[in-house]
Amino acid sequence: MDFLPLFTDLRNKPCLLVGGGQVALRKANLLCKAGAKLRLVAHDILPELSTLCTNAGGECIRGDYGDHLLDDVFLVIAATDDEALNKRVSAACHARHIPVNVVDNPDLCSVILPAIIDRSPLIIAVSSGGKSPVLARMMRSRLEASIPASYGRLAKLVGDFRDAVKARFSDIEDRRHFWEKTLQGPIAEMVFAGKDAVAADMLAVAIDKADIDSGGEVYLIGAGPGDPDLMTFKALRLLQRADVVLYDRLVAPAIVDMCRKDADRVYVGKARAEHAVPQQDINKLLVKYAKEGKKVARLKGGDPFIFGRGGEEIEELAQEKIPFQVVPGITAASGCASYAGIPLTHRDYAQSVRFVTGHLKDHSLNLPWSELVHSSQTVVFYMGLVGLPSICEQLIAHGRDADTPIAVIQQGTTPQQRVVVASLATMVARLAAEPVQAPTLIIVGEVVNLRAKLAWFEQHDLSKGGM
């Protein structure tokens, strides 16, 4: 994080703006809107800028900048096209420890002005740290389209009743649960419908009745194969609602970071033959936290119900009568194959696909090999890196052609993705020369050859998700 985002109260605080052109006018509008006491200095000042400053009770100085103008100033913005002057202003502000923003020159800044979505009193700021203002503005436009103007009125309603809620619910967790229910329920819908008075009456009744739901609940969330952009909207919404997040090795750190900052994060490990927390203990943890009245997110790589042991977890939750939700995720087979440019089915090569675990509970490979050797079937092996020699050997022994193509995908959909392609007969030797790192996914079948045929795939860098 290059800059710590802060929201600053500028009401009646003296702020100096150096510059008198269009850029300075945009900055002056922001400062005046925030209630700043504006001091403006420039030789040439646009008439509308001068009028804005005067109407806001500010001061216009037509002439040269001087360091004496920094006396008692809270914030400085340099918005000129004079590089030497901008550097002088920046140096003087740094010497006096006055926050300074130099437009389009982040190296001279101690503060950055973000792109703003104004739903007052709800304010959302987007910044690239000065690296790409255009990208920040693009992100602002996307957010503006998805955040109704009525959110500002909703925030005001919450502010009007905040003290009453605090007095009614002494426990901070009870207050949070109350507000979560309020902001996602019929009271909020009344505000969105323009019926603010009705919403206020409903909120007053809800506070009086202490209408909160502090019961525990568990969310089994499929985090996908690694790329955070593959998370579903529902997965993200429930993750950000959780008080406790249990996650394992297959969940990307960037996805874990999407949870609430105040949520407890519990690492439960689970590498091959090295479980930080055994599965049965994970099941008990889910029950324990839920019975404490907490919302619990169980983040699982891929999809919870495809080799994710989600079934075992919900069995225990159901037995303990704990409410739960299961959020499907993009399974590794789909995500990794797509990012590697390998279609799992194809009219000319494979009319079916089969998902197989590379090791069973006893770590053996006691698989129905005779069912996995059909030439028009794609077979995907999860967790099969250690057992790869046996996989290749058994498939050939049971009738699959030794020249059948096979792909091993390392850390699919992430920046560390690698794809190694060989045949059943040569893959073990190939990996001995070019080792890969877990987690991996193995794809066996004629569809693997399509990766080589789609030459444009690598040229367009689709393996990194650039579709």
Question: Is 280 one of the annotated binding-site residues?
Answer: no
Q: Catalytic annotation on 248?
A: yes
Q: Is 410 annotated as a binding residue?
A: no
22 belongs to an annotated ligand binding site? yes
Catalytic residue, from 227, 248, 294, 300: name it: 248
Binding residue per annotation — 303?
yes
How far apart are the C-alpha atoms of 368 and 379, rounded to whole Å? 12
Catalytic residue from among 27, 270, 294, 300? 270
| Residue 44, annotated as binding a ligand | yes
Q: Is 308 marked as a binding-site residue?
A: no
- Residue 106 is assigned to a ligand binding site: no
225 is annotated as contributing to ligand binding: yes
Q: Is residue 425 part of an annotated ligand binding site? A: no
361 catalytically annotated? no
Q: Binding residue per annotation — 23? A: yes
Residue 186 labeled ligand binder: no
| Residue 114 marked as a ligand binder | no
Q: Is 163 one of the annotated binding-site residues?
A: no
Q: Which residues are annotated as a binding site for S-adenosyl-L-methionine?
A: 225, 301-303, 306, 331-332, 383, 412
Which residues participate in catalysis according to the annotation?
248, 270
Task: Show binding-site residues.
Answer: 22-23, 43-44, 225, 301-303, 306, 331-332, 383, 412
Known binding residues for NAD(+) are 22-23, 43-44
